[in-house]
């Protein structure tokens, strides 16, 4: 592998070609982006594991890439836009074959993953495994750069993390009995516990600047609206909304405690719930005509996960213009929505981004 100090190359995949961008040295003010989580941020890691949780087929990727990349959207993800705003290339999936240079960062996210290892176990890269991959990257950086320079690099980097929604949605979409054994508060506590432990481990490796988004009304995604019996009025699945509220409160408290206890720990928290509340009240203000029904899928609100016809149900409907829809499929938003969320995470006001916005983290 070429030395990080002397010759760095980034591989950018487009619909028709592979572009190679090279740099002779690691600039002093360079800030990398490391990404963890689930399908909200997965750029295609699941393409390389044995799972049905993939988006490497039409119509995923139909707008921007003109080709399915493994992203659960018609185009780019929020994390792709964050990288663009930070003047970084598209951050590649960790499992993508080939020699990796990690100077821009790397993406460990896996569709279907949860903070709990039991969530979709055996079919995803769970958060604990994502952390182990990051530790391998940190070790390689120390070998390449030396301990001091690697620590400086990792401490300047930004860490995007989004995980937990699968932990909360799965019990309602399967025959789970988890809530017969745990109260909602106890279950949320387990999710938060695993998440905060991961953050602390990243901090030990050098991570200092973290970006999160809280949960909106999870029960209002088409997937869960479709579970409400006889739902003709757009009612939300309130049990999931209750878990989202409990999670948001507990996670905010955990972050405030870590800010006090962990050296130089800083975080940006995008209040997705505020954005979604405003969006629901006035969709046209945000440029959307449809915020209840998905662009791609079948059944009520197109809430059955049949987009692309590869998950058991072969027939599905597809809208003609994803830019008019907030949701692209039963549980993932469109590229247009991802761009709006990324813009707010990047430079939104304090009531939207918490203590910091992400733009502040990428300034030297």
Q: Residue 136: CB partners within 8 Å, gap ≥ 6?
A: none
How is residue 213 written in tokens? 């988004």
Q: Residue 164: CB partners within 8 Å, gap ≥ 6?
A: 114, 115, 191, 195, 215, 247
State how far the Cα of 7 lies from the Cα of 152, in Å rounded to an integer.
19
Q: Residue 39: CB partners within 8 Å, gap ≥ 6?
A: 53, 55, 72, 109, 110, 111, 112, 331, 332
State how far the Cα of 193 lies from the Cα of 353, in Å rounded to an integer.
23
**CA geometry: angle at 235 spanning 229 and 238, to 5°?**
85
How is residue 5 written in tokens? 């100090």
- Which sign, positive or negative, has the C-alpha torsion 285, 216, 333, 94? positive
| 324: phi then psi, degrees, rounded to nearest 5 | -90, -5
State how far the Cα of 296 lies from the Cα of 279, in Å rounded to an integer.
20
Catalytic residue among 38, 39, 74, 305: 39
Catalytic residue among 42, 79, 329, 331: 329
Whether 74 is a known active-site residue: answer no
Whether 203 is a known active-site residue: answer no
DSSP string, 316-363: -EE-S-GGGBSBSSSS-B-HHHHHHHHHHHHH--HHHHTT--HHHHT-
Task: Provide the H-helix boundaries in 95-146.
Answer: 127-145
How is residue 362 written in tokens? 């990428």
3-state secondary structure (DSSP) of residue 125: coil
3-state secondary structure (DSSP) of residue 18: strand
Q: Residue 115: CB partners within 8 Å, gap ≥ 6?
A: 127, 163, 164, 167, 191, 192, 194, 195, 198
**Please, what is the angle between helix 184-205 and helix 127-145, to 10°?**
10
Catalytic residue among 110, 270, 332, 334: 332
Whether 39 is a known active-site residue: answer yes
> Catalytic residue positions?
39, 329, 332
């Amino acid at each position: 592998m070429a030395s990080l100090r002397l010759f760095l190359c980034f591989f950018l995949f487009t619909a028709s070609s592979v572009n190679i961008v090279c740099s002779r040295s690691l600039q002093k003010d360079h800030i990398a982006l490391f990404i963890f989580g689930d399908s909200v941020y997965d750029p295609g890691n699941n393409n390389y594991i044995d799972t049905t949780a993939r988006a490497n087929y039409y119509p995923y990727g139909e707008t921007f890439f003109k080709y399915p990349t493994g992203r659960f959207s018609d185009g780019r993800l929020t994390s792709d836009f964050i990288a663009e705003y930070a003047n970084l290339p598209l951050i590649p999936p960790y499992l993508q074959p080939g020699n990796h240079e990690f100077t821009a960062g790397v993406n460990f996210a896996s569709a279907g993953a949860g903070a709990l290892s039991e969530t979709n176990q055996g079919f995803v890269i769970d958060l604990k495994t994502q952390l182990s991959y990051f530790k391998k990257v940190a070790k390689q950086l120390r070998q390449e750069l030396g301990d001091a320079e690697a620590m400086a690099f990792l401490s300047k980097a930004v860490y995007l993390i989004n995980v937990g929604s699968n932990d909360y949605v799965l019990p309602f979409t399967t025959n789970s009995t988890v809530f017969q054994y745990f109260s909602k508060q106890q279950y949320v506590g387990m999710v938060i516990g695993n998440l905060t432990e991961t953050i602390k481990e990243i901090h030990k490796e050098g991570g200092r600047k973290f970006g999160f988004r809280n949960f909106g009304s999870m029960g209002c995604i088409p997937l869960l609206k479709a579970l409400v019996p006889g739902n003709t009025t757009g009612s939300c699945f309130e049990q999931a909304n209750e878990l989202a509220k409990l999670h948001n409160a507990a996670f905010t408290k955990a972050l405030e405690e870590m800010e006090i206890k962990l050296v130089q720990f800083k975080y940006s928290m995008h209040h997705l719930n505020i954005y979604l509340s405003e969006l629901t009240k006035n969709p046209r203000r945000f440029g959307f005509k449809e915020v209840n029904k998905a662009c791609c899928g079948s059944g009520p609100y197109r809430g059955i996960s049949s987009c692309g016809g590869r998950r058991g149900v072969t027939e599905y409907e597809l809208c003609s213009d994803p830019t008019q829809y907030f949701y692209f499929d039963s549980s993932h938003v469109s590229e247009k929505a991802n761009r709006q969320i990324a813009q707010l995470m990047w430079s939104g006001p304090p009531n939207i981004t918490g203590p910091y916005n992400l733009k502040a983290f990428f300034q030297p």
